[in-house]
Structure 1
């Protein structure tokens, strides 16, 4: 039963990863390689031996047999690369010998699609594979620092060419700064001129506004009351809890003047707020406006 559950879990994870690997932040060649890797189609020595090939096997960075796990996860050389980037991102690496689960761990920690935390592990795996090939076929010495440098260079390139934007770095701008990148905020404020008109003589105008962190989410609202001279009479605010109760609680915070014999003109950017205030106080001498 446990084996069946683990198999189903890995199948689901594989399906999710298969969508994430086709990212504009890496090249199609890299994406194809990652797809082959997570579907167990990379011809490392151990894989070739399983298929009946008679060959001696030796890791390119130590005396261990070359397997997917050793080459890409816990080998002497590649493990230093994982530890370097995990430290940069203040992450704890998972204890797993499975590449699919390792990638999924990074995917879950990412804040959105094409996030740097999803791109980084794929770059580590790709440049780790290139390093292995250089050692095996070009007689180079395995160098973890070279992998780290190549990952850095790719990240710098996609950032300076605007392929990677601020949103791809959400929550990890400190890492960008540590490698010399200035990732500006993706938020661009919109300026709007608002004209305030005084109420008629004998009236009080109350301007209100509110906002919530998420939808639904924790909300707050407040307002300010002025007379026909524009002088402030009072101001108020209230934390409203979840947004779904915003109107009811907001009306509750206005109760201290609703019951008074005041001529009130309520002005708000929210039509729903105006409607609720009008209906709940239809017997009061009150107007609403935009």
Structure 2
């Protein structure tokens, strides 16, 4: 219960105009339309689903806690101190708290829209996470043996997943390989299935 909308009798976390305005402003910084909710369970499921589609996932998830927290602070100010702020002024306070994260890394390539969203949130230090390249040396197996290397992964965990592998002899010559689509799986399931398929191929 936020209790900060003087004109509304519905003082819920979502229904009062002040709260709705704050949710809308925060979502708008990510280019996401606020659909409105009447329960925390539906909001939580929707919020987590949106997080998987956004570049600044950590900031988006932080908003799920920050917005109710700031609403609670404003409710207490109005109820106990008799003072309050306009929704836009209040959102500026929330932005300042978010912008305290001086540097936000994104694991994906940043688009122009990503950078505009970051500016809307007051985040100035945004950069792509640098990937380090590691050189790996493979050793061939002993004479009469075949070496099997496998990999399984899921994009989204769980989402689309695949498995692949390669078999090499003692001269490091490829004697067999496979690449399979596994459907919707977790990373752990994909890795496990990659091993099982590899053993079948090896046999």
TM over 0.5: yes
Residues 1:116 and 2:59 aligned together: no
Q: Are 1:224 and 1:234, in contact at CA under 8 Å, matched by a contact in 2? A: yes
Residues 1:93 and 2:35 aligned together: yes
Residue 15 of structure 2: which of 52, 73, 80 is its match?
A: 73
Structure number with the bigger relative contact order (C-alpha 8 A, sep ≥ 6) is: 2
Distance 2:196 2:140 in 1: 28
SS of 2:15's partner is helix
Distance 1:178 1:226 in 2: 56
Count of residues paired in the alignment: 175
SS of 2:11's partner is helix
TM-superposed CA distance for 1:210, in Å, is 1.5
Segments of 5+ residues of structure 1 without an aligned counterpart are 1-36, 45-57, 168-172, 259-290
Residues 1:147 and 2:119 aligned together: no
Q: Are 1:127 and 1:147, in contact at CA under 8 Å, matched by a contact in 2? A: no
Match of 1:253 in 2: 201
* 1:188 to 1:177, Cα distance in 2 relative to 1, 3 A: farther
Match of 1:52 in 2: none
Match of 1:14 in 2: none
Q: Are 1:106 and 1:118, in contact at CA under 8 Å, matched by a contact in 2? A: no
* 1:88 to 1:130, Cα distance in 2 relative to 1, 3 A: farther
Distance 1:250 1:71 in 2: 52
Match of 1:82 in 2: 23
SS of 1:73's partner is coil
Match of 1:156 in 2: 99
Q: How does 1:23-62 map to 2 (within 5 A)?
A: 37=1, 59=6
Match of 1:222 in 2: 165
Cα RMSD, aligned residues only: 4.7
Match of 1:4 in 2: none
Structure with the larger helix share: 1
Structure-1-length-normalised TM-score: 0.43
TM-superposed CA distance for 1:147, in Å, is 0.9
Structure-2-length-normalised TM-score: 0.56
* 1:107 to 1:185, Cα distance in 2 relative to 1, 3 A: farther
